[in-house]
Amino acid sequence: MRLRGPSACAPATGTKGVPQAGLRHYGAGAMISRRLLIGGGGTLLGTRLLCVAASGAEMLREETGYLTAPDRVRLFYRKVGSGPHRVIIPNDVFLADRWAALGKDFTLVFFDLRNRGRSDSVSSPEQLASGIDHDVADIETVRRHFGFERASVIGHSYLGFVAARYAAAHAQRTDRLVLIGTMGPNPGKPYPPADPQVPPPWEGYSQDFMRATQLAMQPEHDNEMGCKAWWLTARAGFLWDQSLASQLSNEFCQFANEWPARMNRHIATYVRPSVLAHPMQAEEIDRITAPTLLVHGARDRNSPLAASRDWLGQLRQALLLVVAEAGHVPWVERPHEVLPAVARFLEGGIPIGAVSKTGRVP
């Protein structure tokens, strides 16, 4: 996939009259400029055309809006493309700009978790107390809302664990599963670091990150500017190749749910305790019948590669793709390797370089 300019779409698809505000460009090589919702009111916020640069530029339809969970929490969603393979991707606020490029061949539904991104800010403990069980239920709410008989699910980081729990609870509704930089089936289990013999390409990150987070947690910095200042330090921990740091956009800081004080409070109070309290047992893992692709950066220091190897050894049908010289967001550092590999897998193929639990290429 490659990024194409605005002119690449208009002649090929006859969209010469589309105003620039309604034309959004996606590609594997760059982040997207500030998001703009058009229209308003009701559940459907608006629609627009997207220019996706893959094997030639193509126009796709994007729909944005809100759907309502059974407990009345509104979840922001973004639907891209209309392909035959349906894919649900939690964490729109961080993932949509890169992964929407797959909309050429798939129907993608991104959504923001409750109390995150553009979804409702939630203060009622009853709507948060179940932690990741709410997230699992919200994936099912999204599937039902769009009337998908079955769907694949992509989960990154701790949401890989959430996606796996969904696949165990809703095996008949899960087509395929993609877990990227995921934590292991037992989140409380210690794993060795990525490679203790290879130091990270930054020095003093842990101390710098702690100082930046402590500053961002102060009331006077609980705002968009404080979030952006925090991200200048925090983003280094997601990458191995620090030259790409500027590609990790701070646009999420426009949403109050993502300000560090609020996000960290939500994770510490509801997410982390529920994750640690619900390790997946062997019988639960055995209920995951969906073919699974594990994608992990070899230099991931947020979630060590050993976590994905743990899944590989326990899942019925799993493949592991190790992305060399990449950290916690391998699709940013190796977009031309990761995005096509995931697309191939979701279509029923075997990604180049993926191995089975025996260590062999299928």
What is the spatial distance between Cα 56 and Cα 104, in angstroms, rounded to a whole number?
11
Q: What are phi and psi of 77, to 5 degrees?
A: -135, 160
Q: What's the pLDDT at 58?
A: 67
Percentage of residues in the chain having pLDDT higher than 90: 74
CATH number belonging to domain 64-346: 3.40.50.1820
**Torsion (CA) 80, 84, 89, 95 in degrees, nearest 10:** -50
**Arithmetic mean of pLDDT over the chain:** 86
What is the spatial distance between Cα 134 and Cα 122, in angstroms, rounded to a whole number?
12
C-beta separation of 83 from 107 below 8 A = yes
Maximum average pLDDT range among 15-24, 107-116, 192-201: 107-116
CA atoms within 13 A on the CB side of 246: 3
Q: What's the pLDDT at 198?
A: 63
Of 88-97, 151-160, 187-196, which range is least confident?
A: 187-196
Per DSSP, the three-state class of 180 is: strand
Q: What are the pLDDT digits (tens) for 10-50?
A: 433 333 333 333 334 444 333 333 333 333 333 677 777 77
What is the spatial distance between Cα 284 and Cα 133, in angstroms, rounded to a whole number?
14
Domain locations in the chain as residue ranges:
64-346
Q: Which residues contact 287 (CB under 8 A, 6 or more apart)?
A: 168, 169, 171
Q: What's the pLDDT at 61?
A: 86
Average pLDDT value for residue range 68-94: 96
- The residue type found at 336 is H
Selection from 218, 193, 197 nearest residue 206 by Cα:
193
Whether pLDDT at 70 is above 70: yes
Q: What are the pLDDT digits (tens) for 83-96?
A: 999 999 999 999 99
Average pLDDT value for residue range 230-253: 94
Q: What's the pLDDT at 295?
A: 98
Whether pLDDT at 56 is above 60: no
What stretches of 60-204 show up as alpha helix (H) in DSSP? 92-99, 132-146, 158-169
* CB atoms inside a 10 Å sphere around CB 189: 12
Of 15-19, 205-209, 242-246, 255-259, which range is least confident?
A: 15-19
Q: Six-digit token pair at 345?
A: 């897998």
Of 40-54, 214-228, 344-358, which range is least confident?
A: 40-54
Q: What's the pLDDT at 362?
A: 64
Give residue 109's pLDDT band: very low, low, confident or very high (50, 70, 90). very high
